[in-house]
Amino acid sequence: MSAYDVVVVGSGPVGTAAARELADRAPDLRILVLEAGQVLGDVPGGHVKNIADPGAALAGLPAGAAPPPGATPARPGTALIGTPDMPNAAISTNVGGMGAHWTAACPRPGDDEVPGFLDPAVLDEALDRAEELLAVTTHAFDGAPLRDAVQQVLGEVFDQPERRPVGPMPVAVAASGDGSLHWTGPAVIAGDLWERGNVTLRAGTRATRIVTEGDRATGVEVVDVATGEREVVESRAVVVAADAFRTPQLLWVSGIRSAALGRYLNDQPQIMTASLLDDRYVTDEAPAKVSVSAASTPGGGAIIPLSGVSWVPYAAGRPFHGQVMQMDASPVKLDPGITVRPGQVVGLGWFCRKEVSAADRVWFDEDTPDEHGMPAIRVDYTLTDADQAAIAAAVEELRTAAKALGRPLGEPFVLPAGSSLHYQGTTRMGPADDGTSVCDPAGRVWGTANVFVGGNNVIPTATACNPTLTAVALAVITARALADLLEVSP
């Protein structure tokens, strides 16, 4: 039987950030990070777009093992949950979680996206730390020759007084001098974490239950995925950061079942379109300023440095935010007669704020075990009239933006529910244990002394911006609170 100070369940951006912040603040803590999946490629938690051969991303699977059901070469380790109300809902079972696959967009939340009960100074400092851990920058695409033209047009359409202006999207992407890109995966967050003597990463190990005595966790029951061997890992505290579906699932099977557990599920409706940039922006000379080659997009990345990534920020009176980027493969089929210069097709993706409702939820069917013997995940999820109105407004905005940039390529289309991968709310935080939240502002689960949760699922507000930066910032707050707790606990 092994013993640790902290067991972290989940090796995604949030689990890794919590472990890193804990280890930095309290180097003597013995920390175990559990991951049910395997390493993709050679680097634990590396982004798959940094792998020159995408097929090599499956190299970490056990010999003879097949990819997870629903996995694709573009996202090895991921699988669809398979639920009618949210048909594109996906989970990622690999070291690094969905952080090995994400688009690396890291906008800060604004206006009413920010939880009003959090101390603004504390949150701002945690967001600063999250940007440091994720290596966020707005300069990765400074040399993109089409970026300024795209942002000028978008600014003319959308900028208004008292709103954050159109600008470069903050991204967790580093650009080298030769134009090649390195995408932040949890490996960047970890740094030398896995080389420290007191921190252990165990891949291929699934957490099946938090062991409790009264209101206190004493350990985690785990199973070795390859051998089926079970054991209990003793721990002074537990942090569960296993995504918006499996985090509440693990709490549920552990008998930690607050009224809000699994409820307030928030998936941002996503609308897409594409536009063929006007020839006045795309000249024969402009694309030539950047070498477009395999070296610029290792692993077949979706962004090449011609127009970069532009951001149309969320505002309280405008219930969506947008990102515009050059695409190496348009989702819209082009007419055979259209000649396209490199970088001329841009994709526009708008994410909508969705009303928060307790009726939108994840729940667990104890009569139907999943392939791991856990209660099967079910989802209840509907769009309200206000949600439909926001989607309709976003469609109109996309039409306007696509036309302003050049030639719209078809009509904007709404992606199936779950496509955003920005699932939130199922273990939401709150200021009081009043039945509408699962954890306190530090991430500690109500009614427990030492069980903490992290992830996008902790975010309690209706948001439109990409949630990873916010979730990592909240994990920083959690890690600091937990370090203080363990310092004074026996």
Residues 52 and 153 in one domain: no
Rounded to whole angstroms, how far apart are CA atoms 159 and 10?
Answer: 40
Q: Which of 47, 101, 182, 422 is catalytic?
A: 422
Amino acid at 400: T
Tell me, what's the pLDDT at 421?
94
How many distinct structural domains can be found in the chain? 2
Q: Kindly state the average pLDDT of the residues 292-321.
A: 67
Residues 5 and 125 in one domain: yes
Q: Is the CB of residue 147 less than 8 Å from the CB of residue 141?
A: yes
pLDDT tens for residues 228-270?
Answer: 999 999 999 999 999 999 999 999 999 999 999 999 999 999 9
* Domain annotation covers residue 103: yes
Tell me, what's the pLDDT at 478?
98
The CATH number covering residue 261 comes to 3.50.50.60
Tell me, what's the pLDDT at 59?
45
pLDDT tens for residues 197-232?
Answer: 999 999 999 999 999 999 999 999 999 999 999 999
Q: Kindly state the average pLDDT of the residues 58-63.
A: 41
Residues 361 and 330 in one domain: no
Q: Is the CB of residue 322 less than 8 Å from the CB of residue 311?
A: yes
Domain with 130, as residue range(s), is 1-136+183-267+357-380+422-490
Q: Is the CB of residue 305 less than 8 Å from the CB of residue 343?
A: no
Final residue before a domain boundary, out of 393, 416, 439: 416
pTM reported for the whole predicted model: 0.91
CA distances from 428 to 7, 180, 253, 354, 459 (A): 21, 38, 18, 15, 6
Whether residue 31 has pLDDT greater than 90 = yes
pLDDT band at 333 (very low <50, low <70, confident <90, very high): low
Residues 213 and 336 in one domain: no
Structure tokens at 18: 């919590």
**Residue 47 annotated in active site:** no
> Which residues lie closer than 8 Å to 241 by C-beta, 6 or more apart?
8, 9, 10, 12, 14, 15, 18, 247, 453, 454, 455, 475
Residues 118 and 56 in one domain: yes
